Amino acid sequence: MRDVAVIGIGITKFGELWWQNLRELCVEAALKAIKDAGVDHLDSMYVGCMTSGLFCAQEHLGAIMADYLGQKHLPAYRIESACASGGLAFRLGYMEVASGMSDIVLVGGAEKMHTGADATFALASAADQEYEAFHGNTFPGLYALIARAHMAKYGTTREQMAAVAVKNHDNGSKNPNAQFPMKINKETVLNATPVADPLGLFDCSPVTDGAAAVILCPVEMAKKYTDTIIKVIGSGAATSTIALHQRDDITFLDAVYHAGKRAYEMAGLKPEDIDFAEVHDCFTIAEICCIEALGFCEVGQGGPFSEVGNTALDGKIPINTSGGLKSKGHPVGATGVAQIVELVEQLRGTAGERQVKNAKRGLAQNMGGSGASSVVHILEVQ
Amino acid sequence: MAVGIIGYGAYVPRYRIKAEEIATQWGDDPEVIKRGLLLYEKTVPNHDEDTVTIAYQAAKYALVRAGIDPKEIGALYVGSESHPYAVKPSGTVVAEALGMVPDIHIADYEFACKAGSEAMFVCYSHVKAGNMKYAMAIGADTSQGAPADALEYSAAAGGSAFIFGADEDKIIAEVLYTYSFTTDTPDFWRREHQMYPQHGGRFTGEPAYFKHVVSAGRNIMEMAGLTAKEIHWAVFHMPNGKFPLRAGRTLGFSKEQIEPGLVVPWQGNTYSGSSPNGLAATLDSAAKPGDLILMVSFGSGAGSDAFIFKVRERINEVRDMVPKLWDLIHGKKFYLTYGQYAKFRGKIHLNPDV
Amino acid sequence: MIVPRHYKEMPQRYKLQGSRCKACGKVFLPPRQICPCGSEDLEDYNLSWKGKILTFTIIRTPPVQFKYQKPYAVAVVELEGGGTIQCQVTDTSLEEIEIGKEVEIVFRKILSEGEAGIHCYGYKCRVI
């Protein structure tokens, strides 16, 4: 297996983008990444997208993206793992380069959600359709089930969950591409419109359009394009039960744990060795559970750990410096790739006001559904 | 060969609305309703309940009391005037859900409020003829009362199920006599595609309810050579609290003989489940081995099915096996406002989804 | 048109017909062809109609077909004898619902497909 580097990144604005459709978003992000890398050709491309079928009645995305990117006859693949589609696309792109099969691979992620389609219905396809969605449960509902169980088991409070949203908005206010770049306070979160008790509107990531893309190549070749070599040193993926009620422990995201464990093992690292991380805060409780499963704090203590500022930009382990899914936005298929884009910005030292000092190793954790799949990558600047 | 009820069960939903609430909505005097019709409150089906789910629960209770393998049931008939589909039977869902399929005869029955008792009539005959070992009849309804109409105070939801068989060691109440009295009397009807029924006002009294109920009662008692004093309990169709008491009085029954089955003041009129629920309530509470029970249903259009049952020892064994109807009527319940009631009953114009 | 998909799940929705692994004893709804423990020896097993609430939420922003039912509660219920399910909590005031409360499973209409489609029946729970 060869060492692989990320040599180019590109990202669109995230938000309600009424004047851009799915293929335009993909092409915008991809062209930015290609130019950022300075490559003159691609060997293949991946696009992570959860459900262009339900949102846009459009499948066959690999072909469309290669076509509209002007990449005639390029091998192209659409990768799906619900909200972990982007992260999984990155893993597969990484594998294609690491294996020696290809040299220059574009990995994109995109989602176009404001199409008039029933977003709740489309997103519910990430859950167990016949045994969860059929019974009237929703995405926020699933995470609310986790939240209430976590609160009962560990004493986690709504205030602690609110602290996560406040922190992510603080970071997002420094991100020019974020969908909701405004600061908020705890009261906003606690008094927000209830969505699925105990979660309110501000505990939930928004519905977003957007795309992101990166270019991968072998480390040896990367030196041709850039002095800053950002290497993929760990990659791990795992699944768990599709239905939340069949998990061994509803409060523990075991897919995240196993994906993280595999990535740490590959990199020869422990959680303490990570300088900052982008984790999958589709809901405030998700960030709490993810940082527990990734070993950044003790299991069950994610709430208090977050409340005292350990995950802030200047904290012990900055989490979601981009603003996270909550403030930056969550165009489902794009998120996993957008996390890599943020890692690269930080490792290059180009994160501006969001810059983490001495950022050397970053971790990106992407998750699908209520935790039925997860993908973790660790990147290190050489 | 003696044939009778070998298992029975009744069910009503947990939601209620009071007569006062409906009266306030439409500007009626609640005391007139309560005093004049003996209607205090009625059951309301939850939005996730319908004739099928009610029939299912009643049937489930009946199977527990019968203690038989559902697959041995040869026929299942659900009688209702609020079947969830215009075309597609209610009985198939109940039979599939309770494991009675596929070797079974199923039909849905309708005849206004006597759709349940007529199913009982047929089930008894199947077993009596030796055609099948067991047959189950269910009367269940979630009938609609038109807004601002008198029937809105009484149209309620509920039902009961009766399994007929000939096993000597299983009979709870033997059928001694059956009789049916029917004429073409259009006292209450609903045209296709209409949401609410129409009725003839005072015409629904003498020419309809009383003519058929009293005639059927009188004729079956004559057939049996019995007087009201020799019969212990009487159950009549209950469109309100007053009619059955008056019919009973005409036939020579006292109020005390009717009260154990007089569920309507707190349950409302469960239409096809009305006299069947009254029978279930009587079996649950007052009936003792050896007692005779007269049941006379009434279905607008119009007709009455009459039965005389003789209660057997086994009632003492099975009575407490499942929740009893009076306990469900007076047990855990939630009162609705008129607005909530209108929402539950689909009386509000909704916007179709695109 | 939901008919074929709903029809296939009827034994599970109507009767809680699941499976039990004869090797490790784990109970599943819906049934499985192979157990995570590795065994393919699974027997038909109808889950119990009694259980208790492990966790729950109250949905206040429902999907379109459940629009008029809000707010409603959804719970994870652990059934006696094995198996967990997710279902709505019906016939119960929202304030009454607590983790640990005992429930009975009831047969109810889960949804209807629009104005002209079929009614889909299945399981819900209610606090006893």
Label residue B193 left, alpha or beta by phi (over 0 means left) and psi (-120 to 50 means alpha): left
Alpha carbon of C38: minimum distance to chain B alpha carbons (Å): 31
Hey, what amino acid is at B111?
A: F
Q: How many Å apart are CA A344 and CA A335, to the nearest integer?
A: 14
pLDDT number for residue A29: 98
pLDDT number for residue B351: 85
pLDDT band at C65, cuts 50/70/90?
confident
Contacts of A135 in chain C (CB under 8 A): 74, 86-88, 110, 122, 124
Q: Are A156 and A303 in contact, with CB atoms under 8 Å apart?
A: yes
Q: Are B229 and B252 in contact, with CB atoms under 8 Å apart?
A: yes
Contacts of C124 in chain B (CB under 8 A): 48
Q: Are A51 and A125 in contact, with CB atoms under 8 Å apart?
A: yes
Instruction: Determine the 3-state secondary structure of B40 from DSSP.
Output: coil
pLDDT number for residue B354: 64
Alpha carbon of C116: minimum distance to chain B alpha carbons (Å): 10
Q: What are the DSSP calls for C69-97, one per residue?
A: G-SEEEEEEEETTS-EEEEEE-SS-GGG-
Residue B197 belongs to domain with CATH number: 3.40.47.10
Number of domains in chain C: 1
Q: How many Å apart are CA B333 and CA B157, to the nearest integer?
A: 14
Across the range C32-47, mean pLDDT stands at 97
Query: Which residues of B are designated catalytic?
Result: 81, 113, 237
Contacts of B46 in chain C (CB under 8 A): 90-91, 108
| Interchain contact C64–B (C-beta under 8 A) | yes
Q: What angle do CA C22, C28, C32 make, to 5 degrees?
A: 75
pLDDT one-digit tens code per residue, A196-225: 999 999 999 999 999 999 999 999 999 999
Phi, psi of A74 (to 5 degrees): -70, 135
CB within 8 Å: C59 and A141: yes
Chain B's closest residue to C125, CA to CA, is B48
Chain C's closest residue to A134, CA to CA, is C110
Q: Is residue B58 part of a domain?
A: yes
CB within 8 Å: B99 and C109: no
Q: Is residue B353 part of a domain?
A: no
Chain A's closest residue to C16, CA to CA, is A131
Say yes or no: B16 and B165 in one domain. yes
pLDDT one-digit tens code per residue, B16-27: 999 999 999 999
The answer, yes or no, to whether residue B353 has pLDDT greater than 90, is: no
CB within 8 Å: C15 and B97: yes
Contacting A residues, span 173-232, partner chain C, CB-CB under 8 Å:
193-199
pLDDT number for residue C1: 85
Q: Is residue B354 part of a domain?
A: no
User: What is the third-level CATH fold of A136-199+233-381?
Assistant: Peroxisomal Thiolase; Chain A, domain 1 (3.40.47)
| Interchain contact B49–C (C-beta under 8 A) | yes
CB within 8 Å: A130 and C88: no
Contacting A residues, span 320-359, partner chain C, CB-CB under 8 Å:
none
Q: How many Å apart are CA B325 and CA B9, to the nearest integer?
A: 8
In the block, which residue shows the tokens 């005031």?
Answer: C93
Contacts of B350 in chain C (CB under 8 A): 68
- pTM, rounded to two decimals: 0.93
Give the closest of B47, B84, B96 to C10, CB-based.
B96
Say yes or no: B309 and B286 in one domain. yes
- Residue C42 tokens read as 């699974």
Chain C's closest residue to A199, CA to CA, is C57
CB within 8 Å: C99 and A152: yes
CATH superfamily, domain at A4-118+208-222: Thiolase/Chalcone synthase (3.40.47.10)
What is the full per-residue pLDDT of chain A (382 aa) written as tens digits? 999 999 999 999 999 999 999 999 999 999 999 999 999 999 999 999 999 999 999 999 999 999 999 999 999 999 999 999 999 999 999 999 999 999 999 999 999 999 999 998 899 999 999 999 999 999 999 999 999 999 999 999 999 999 999 999 999 999 999 999 999 999 999 999 999 999 999 999 999 999 999 999 999 999 999 999 999 999 999 999 999 999 999 999 999 999 999 999 999 999 999 999 999 999 999 999 999 999 999 999 999 999 999 999 999 999 999 999 999 999 999 999 999 999 999 999 999 999 999 999 999 999 999 999 999 999 999 9
What range does the domain containing C54 cover?
3-127
CB within 8 Å: C91 and B46: yes
CB within 8 Å: C54 and A198: no
Q: What angle do CA C50, C55, C61 make, to 5 degrees?
A: 115
Give the closest of A121, A134, A245 to C76, CB-based.
A245
Give the closest of A133, A140, A145 to C76, CB-based.
A145
Strand-by-strand arrangement of the A373-381 sheet: A76-79, A44-48, A105-111, A210-218, A4-11, A230-239, A373-381, A361-368, A276-278
Q: Is residue B352 part of a domain?
A: no
Contacts of C106 in chain B (CB under 8 A): 53, 57
pLDDT one-digit tens code per residue, B117-174: 999 999 999 999 999 999 999 999 998 899 999 999 999 999 999 999 999 999 999 9
Helix residue ranges per DSSP H, A200-249: 219-222
Helix residue ranges per DSSP H, chain A: 22-37, 52-56, 61-68, 85-98, 119-123, 139-154, 158-172, 186-190, 219-222, 254-267, 284-293, 302-307, 324-328, 332-348
| Interchain contact C48–B (C-beta under 8 A) | no
Instruction: Determine the 3-state secondary structure of B207 from DSSP.
Output: helix
Give the closest of C14, C91, C118 to B97, CB-based.
C14
Neighbors of chain C by Cβ distance (3+ pairs < 8 Å): A, B
Q: C40-64: buried (b, 16+ CB within 10 Å) or exposed (e) per residue?
A: eebeebbbbbebbbbbbbbbbbbbe
Contacts of A137 in chain C (CB under 8 A): 59, 74, 86
The answer, yes or no, to whether residue B352 has pLDDT greater than 80, is: no
Instruction: Determine the 3-state secondary structure of C49 from DSSP.
Output: coil
Number of domains in chain B: 2
User: Are A4-118+208-222 and A136-199+233-381 the same fold in CATH?
Assistant: yes
Q: How many Å apart are CA A377 and CA A364, to the nearest integer?
A: 5
Q: How many Å apart are CA A378 and CA A270, to the nearest integer?
A: 11
pLDDT number for residue B116: 98
Q: Give the residue extent of every domain in chain A.
A: 4-118+208-222, 136-199+233-381
What range does the domain containing B201 cover?
176-315
DSSP B157: E
Give the closest of B47, B57, B99 to C107, CB-based.
B57
Give CA C47 to chain center in angstroms: 10
SS3 track for A78-99? EECECECHHHHHHHHHHHHHHC
CB within 8 Å: A243 and C60: no
Share of chain B above pLDDT 70, in %: 100
DSSP B239: S
Say yes or no: B259 and B223 in one domain. yes
pLDDT number for residue C64: 85
Contacts of C105 in chain B (CB under 8 A): none
- List all residues 6 or more positions away from A145 whose beta carbon is below 8 Å from its beta carbon: A137, A244, A250, C55, C56, C57, C74, C75, C76, C86
Residue A83 is a catalytic residue: yes
Q: Are B10 and B160 in contact, with CB atoms under 8 Å apart?
A: yes
Say yes or no: B284 and B263 in one domain. yes
